[in-house]
Chains A and B, each alone.
Chain A
Amino acid sequence: MINFGYTLNKSGAINLVEADLSLYNDLMKKVPSFARCIGCGGCAATCAARQHTDFSVLKCNMLIRRGEYDTLSKELNKCMLCGKCSLVCPRNVNTRAMIIQARLLVNSFSKR
């Protein structure tokens, strides 16, 4: 290919039609309460890991919902599984189980 001295940026937009939602759907089956998230961010506000890193339970949650799995594995590993997020969630989402199950699914997903 001819090198013109510049490259095209990959679109930063989420494309809901091309999105692969298989991990999301698998996770929904394992942790049904995951469907109830209203994106309030209570989980992120109470998170111990969030105080020192840019880890956010809400962000992980949203990335899974949109089929954006590229950075997910690295993000999920920042969680210390203390479970404070589950205690504060107003919709009683089992966030801790969500993280554990998402880690397992991401690993099997990347092996596919």
Chain B
Amino acid sequence: MNIVDCIIIGGGPAGMEAANRLTDQGFQVLLFEKEPELGGKLRQWDKLFPDFTLAQDILKMLNDNIASNKLEIKTGNTIRELRQSTDEGNSKEWEVIDGNGESHRARTVLITTGFDFFDATRKEEYGYGIYPNVITSVELEEQLKNGKIEIASNSKNDPNIAFIQCVGSRDEKVGNHYCSRNCCICAVKQAIEVKELLPQSEVTCYYMDLRMFGQSYEELYRKAQQEFRVNFIRGRVSEISPTLENRVILKAEDTLLSRPIRATVDLVVLMVGMEPSETTAQLSKSLNMSDPYGYIASKNSYTADNETQHKGLFVAGTAKRQLAIPDVIRDADAAAFTIAKHLKNGK
């Protein structure tokens, strides 16, 4: 049986980048993707923060590299099992059972199974799935991609649009203590895009904290305030209820004025956070390397962040924690470097 150098599980940006970097160096790679196409969540996105780069441009670069490299790709294939090879004397090898029950062997395995969006129906008080005016940031992105924002209410006035931060993040009620890191800046980006499409709309963003940690994030926030007049209100929305005109009322506390605040709006965008994907959670559990939320814990987040506690098993991207596209690509590069080092030393 052919033993490849590396099996990569997950064909999103992390998996694609790592596959390219490993084949560049002459290693034999087998890449698994559960969807019919490579690209992961990047395929759902229109423009990327903070500079409105087209997601499809990044995808094209990754895909062009894939096309010019010689590697085996199995799309539409969800792996069933990942385990250390049981053969005598061959315990350094890994075995992957794919969706068709076929066995594949590799010297190393890289897990790039990524994240999923928080299921907004779990925050019932926001009425997602109940009121047509309440959508998620993922759905808004799709509308922005099509260049048209759908307003469900029949109000004839200029639309009022509200963004709600931290839906499924920093919330012990849903078991996610962590910050998803990407939603703050994504809301700022989407608010600007909404203002560009509907200049007469009133756009308000309700936040607990605005975490503009990345390069050019704070500048974009400043631009949203100064040039696009996006209104930022510090206060967590407690509940959303419908009106007779098919609009919805938000209730929040204006914590900077210590007063309750009410607003009737035509569209609410829930900034859904990140959670480990189903496969990430399964793998982290079955191989006993889960963090408290089901993400895969790396061996040492300072010095061995692409390694796991299992020899020959590596991890990159949002299967570990919440990262943005540039971080994911850099992390995949680092993983490819670490795997190459491992393969060379092993020979």
Interface residues, chain A, CB within 8 Å of chain B? 12-17, 28, 32-33, 35-39, 58-59, 62-63, 65-66, 68, 91
Contacts and interface: CB of A to CB of B under 8 A. Distances in A.
A66 B264 contact: no
B261 A36 contact: no
A28 B222 contact: no
B119 to A, nearest CB: 29
11 contacts: A12-B260, A13-B260, A14-B257, A16-B261, A28-B229, A36-B225, A37-B225, A38-B210, A39-B256, A62-B254, A62-B257
B344 interface: no
B70 interface: no
Contact of B160 (A17, A35, A37, A68): A17
Contacts of B341: none
Nearest to B223: A36
Given A39-B256, A62-B254, A66-B254, A16 B226 contact: no
A36 B231 CA distance: 10
B41 interface: no
Contacts of B260: 12-14
Contact of B225 (A14, A15, A35, A58): A35
Contacts of B222: 36, 91
A65 B260 CA distance: 14
B334 to A, nearest CB: 35
Given A13-B260, A14-B254, A66-B259, 16 more contacts: A12-B259, A14-B259, A14-B260, A15-B262, A16-B261, A16-B263, A17-B263, A17-B264, A28-B229, A32-B226, A35-B229, A39-B234, A39-B256, A58-B256, A66-B261, A68-B257
Contacts of B226: 32-33, 35-36
Contacts of A39: 234, 256
Contacts, number: 52
Nearest to A61: B256
B23 interface: no
B164 to A, nearest CB: 14
B257 A16 contact: no
Nearest to B227: A35
B225 A13 contact: no
A13 B265 CA distance: 16
B204 interface: yes
Contacts of B259: 12-14, 66
Contacts of A65: 231
Nearest to A92: B222
Contacts of B229: 28, 35
A25 to B, nearest CB: 9
A67 to B, nearest CB: 11
A13 B262 contact: yes
A91 B261 CA distance: 25
A14 B160 CA distance: 16
Given A16-B204, A17-B160, A59 B257 contact: yes
A26 B234 CA distance: 23
Contacts of B232: 38
Interface in B227-278: 229, 231-232, 234, 254, 256-257, 259-264
A50 B146 CA distance: 51
A105 to B, nearest CB: 18
Interface string B111-138: 0000000000000000000000000000
A10 to B, nearest CB: 13
A33 to B, nearest CB: 8
A38 to B, nearest CB: 8
Contacts of A12: 259-260
A59 B258 CA distance: 10
A28 B226 CA distance: 10
Contacts of B234: 39
Contacts of A66: 254, 257, 259, 261
Residue from the set A13, A36, A58, A63 with the largest chain B CB neighbour count within 10 Å: A13
Contacts of B263: 15-17
Nearest to B254: A14
